[in-house]
Structure 1
Amino acid sequence: MRLYVIAGEASGDKLGGALMAGINGLAPGVDWSGIGGEEMGAQGLTSLFPMEELSVMGLMEVLPKYRHLKRRIAETADHVIESGAEALVTIDSPDFCLRVARLVKEKRPDLKVIHYVAPSVWAWRPGRAAKMGQVVDHVLALLPFEPPYMEAAGMSCDFVGHPVVAEPRATGADAAAFRETHMIGEEQPLALCLPGSRRGEVKRLGARFDEALMQLRDREPGLRVVLPTVRGVAPMVREMTARWPVAPIVVENADDKRAAFAAADIALAASGTVSLELAANRVPMVIAYDANFLTWHVISRMLKIDTVTVVNLVSETRVIPEFLGPDCKPRDISAKMLELLEEDAAREEQMAAMEEVMRRLGEGGEPPGLRAARSVLEFLGRA
C-alpha cells in the first residue's frame, strides 16, 4: 500500500508520526511519501523538502512567501500524482494542504483524501467545512464535539482523541534530576516560557514574554525560566535569548523538554496545542498571543467563541487566563502569573479542569495514533 502524507509544522509532525506508527503496526510494509519532520521521518518518510518551509501563519506573514508557497503547492501536487499513492493524508496546515488536495483531485478525482485535524469551524469561518468537503472524503477529529460539523458538510468523520494523552511524560525522578542538573532548588519557582514553534511567533512574542517574566522575577527573585524549543527555530531562540537580561535555560532535546514540563510550577505560553501539553503535565498556565495588526484585526472580528484555549473549550470552563491581541501586555501577564504561584485556589481550579480535559480526550484508553490508524485503514477498506 502506498500512502502520501503531508504535515506543515511541529504539531502536525507529532500527529503524523503517531498515525504512521499506528499504520505501520497494523499494516506493515506501507510505502510512504510526503512532507514531514523528524517524527514522521522516524517512521519511514523521506520529506520532499524541509517541513519548516510551511511553518508560516498569519496573513501578513504569508504574503512575502506567497510565490514560493504557491510553487511548493504545485510541486507537491505533482509529486502526489507521481507517487501512485492510494490515498493522500493531509495533517492540519489547511492553507497548504487543502490547496494541494484540490489540485490532486482535479487530476485524480478517484484518489481518497483524508484530513487529520478538523478545522475549527466552531470558532470561526464556518464556511470552511463546506469548502473542505469539496476535496476531502474523511476527517480524523481531535476533539469530541467536532464530528457533527464535518458530517454536516458531507464528509465522514471519526473522533480519534488527541495524541497528547498518550505522549510519554517524565517522572518525578526525571524532574528532580532536571532541577539538580541546572542547579534549581526544590523550592525555587520554575517557569516555562513557550512563545511558539514558528519563527514569526517567537520574534513577535519573545520580547513581551521576557518582559513579563522579568516583572515576575521582581516579585519572585529566585524564579528560573526554561524555554523549550524545536529544531526549526532553535538557533533563532538561542540568539534572541542571549540578549535577554537574564537568559533562560533553552532546551531542544525531547527528554529535557519532558523533564522541564514535569519540573515546572507555571507556564507562559502562546495560544495553540501547547496548552494541552501543559494540561497533560498538570502545569498551571497563562496564555498570551498577538499577531500582526491586520491579521489580528481580521481574525478577532471573525471569532465566534470567547476563548481560544482548547483546555477552556473542552473542559467547558474559562479557568485558563488569556491575554490576546491588544491585551497582550507584560504587566497584566506577570500579575496573573504571580496569582497562580501564590494562590492555591487558582491553581486547584486549573488542575481540576485539566483532569477533565484529559479524561474527555481519551486518557487511559487506546492511544489516539492507533485509533487514527484504524480509522484510516477502515475508511480505505484495509482493516
Structure 2
Amino acid sequence: MKLFLVAGEASGDRLGAALMEGLKTLAPGVAFAGVGGPLMQAQGLQSLFPMDELSVMGIAEILPKYRKLRRRLHQTAEAVLADPPDALITIDSPDFCLRVARLVRARRPEQRTIHYVAPSVWAWRPGRAAKMAEVIDHVLALLPFEPPLMQAVGMSCDFVGHPVVAEPRATAAEAQAFRETHGIGKAPLILVLPGSRRGEVGRLGPVFGAALGLVVAARPEARVVLPTVAHVAGAVRAMAAAWPGAPVVVETADDKRAAFAAADVALAASGTVSLELAANAVPMVIGYNFNRLTWEIIKRRALIDTVTLVNLVSDTRVVPEFLGPACRAEAIAPALLRMMAAGPERAAELDAMAVTMQRLGAGGEAPGLRAARSVLGALGHRA
C-alpha cells in the first residue's frame, strides 16, 4: 500500500508522524511519500521540500510568498499524479492541502482522498465543509463533536482523538533535574511560547517580552523558559536576550518535555500548544495578534467567543485570552500574575484542563493508532 501525505506546519508534522507510526503497526510494508517535517521524516518520509516553507498564516502574510507557495502547490500535485497512491492524505493546513487535493482530483477523479483535522466550521466559515466535500472522501477528526458536521455534507468521518493525550511527558524527577541544570531551583517558572512561525515570533515577541517585564518587576524571583523549534530558534534567542527572568531557550524534545513538566504557568500563542499545556496541567494565559487586515476579516466572520481549545472542549471560558488589539503587555501581565497565584482562577483552569484531556481520549487507544485504523477502514483494508 502506498500513501502520499502532506503536512504544512509543526502541529501537522506531529499528527502525521503518529499516523505513520500507527499505519506501520497495523499495515506492515506500507510505503510513504509526500511533504512533512522532521517527525514525519523520522518515520520514513522523504519530504519533497522543506515543510517550513508552507508554515505561513494570515492573508496579508501569505501574499508576499504567493508565487513560491504556488510553485510548491503544483510540485506536490504533480508528484501525486506521477505515482498515484492508494490515498492522498492531507493533514491540516487546508489553504495549501485542499488545493493540492483539488488539483489532483481535477486530473484523476478516482483518487481516494483523506483529510486529517476537520475544518473548524463551528468557529468560522461554515461553508468550508461543503467545499471540502467536493475533493475529500473521509475525514479524521480531533474533536468529538465534529463528525456529524462532516457527515452532514457527505464525507465519512471518525473521531480519532487528539494525539496530545498520548504524547510522552516528563517525570517529576526529570522536571526537577531540569530546574537544577538551569539554576532555577524553586523559583516560579514561566513558560513563554510565542509560536512556531517566524511571523508569530516577530509579532508576539515584543508584546510578550514587555508583559514579562511587568511580571518580573512584581515577582523578581521568577524565571523564564522558552521552548522552541529549530527553524525559529535563532530569532527566539536574539529576541529573548534582552528579556528579564534570565531566559533559557530549549530546543530538544527531552528539554521541552522537562520544561513543560517543571513549569508553574505559561504565556502562549493561540494554537494547539494550549492542549500540550493542559496535558501537563500548566495554567496558561493566551495572547495572539494578526496583521491588521487579517484580524479585521477574522473578527467579522468568527462564530465563537474564544479561540482557546481548552475553553472550547471543556465548555468553559476560564483560560484568559488577549487577541488582536487586546494583545497588550499591560493587559496580559496582571492575568499572568493572577494565574501564578494559588487562587480560584488557577484552580478553575486546572479543572478545565482535566476535563479537556478526558474528552479528547486520555486513557484510551493511542490517537495515532485510532487514526491509522480509520484510514485503513476507509480504504477497505483489514488491519
Question: Per the shorter chain, which TM-score range?
Answer: over 0.9
Gaps in structure 2 of 5+ consecutive residues: none
Q: Is the 8 A contact 2:260 2:277 kept in 1?
A: yes
- Deviations, residues 181-216 of structure 1 (Å, cap 9, x unaligned): 001122x10000001001000000001001101100
1:146 lines up with 2:146 in the alignment: yes
SS in 2 for 1:261: helix
Partners in 1 of 2:28 and 2:237 — Cα distance?
Answer: 40
Amino acid at match of 2:318: V
Amino acid at match of 2:290: A
Residue 307 of structure 1, CA deviation: 0.4
Name 1:300's counterpart in structure 2.
299
- Consecutive unaligned residues of structure 1, counting only runs of 5 or more, are none
SS in 1 for 2:230: coil
Residue 240 of structure 1 deviates from its aligned partner by 2.2
Give the letter for the 1:293 counterpart: R
Look up the match of 1:334. Answer: 333
TM-score by length of 1: 0.99
Letter in 2 for 1:261: F
Give the superposition deviation at 1:345. Answer: 1.4
In the aligned structure 1, how far is the partner of 2:242 from the partner of 2:351? Answer: 38
> Does the 8 A contact of 2:319 with 2:349 survive in 1?
yes
The residue number in structure 2 matching 1:271 is 270
Shift of 1:247: 5.1
Aligned to 1:233, what secondary structure does the other structure show?
Answer: helix
Query: In structure 1, the residue corresponding to 2:136 is in which secondary structure?
Result: coil
Q: Aligned runs of 1:1-383 on 2, under 5 Å? A: 1-186=1-186, 188-244=187-243, 248-383=247-382
In the comparison of the two structures, how many residue pairs are matched? 382
Check conservation: 2:213, 2:243, Cα contact below 8 A. no
Distance 1:361 1:381 in 2: 26
Deviations 1:214-238 (A, max 9, x none): 1000010011000000122112212
Listed one character per residue, the Cα deviations across residues 74-120 of structure 1 (whole Å, up to 9, x for unaligned) are 11000011122111000000000000000000111111110000000
Cα distance in 1 between the residues matched to 2:204 and 2:83: 40
Residues 3-38 of structure 1: per-residue CA shift (max 9 Å, x gap): 000000000000000000000011011111000011
Runs (4+) of structure 1 exceeding 3 A deviation are 243-247
- Could you tell me how far apart the structure 2 residues matched to 1:171 and 1:65 are? 42
Q: Deviations over 1:132-152 (max 9, x none)?
A: 000000000000000111111
**One-letter amino acid matched to 1:160:** V
How far apart are the structure 2 equivalents of 1:200 and 1:93? 16
* Identity within the alignment, %: 66
Residue-by-residue CA offset, 1:22-56 (whole Å, 9 max, x unaligned): 00011011111000011101111000000000000
Q: Structure 1's 159 and 92: CA in aligned 2 closer, same or farther, altered over 3 A?
A: same
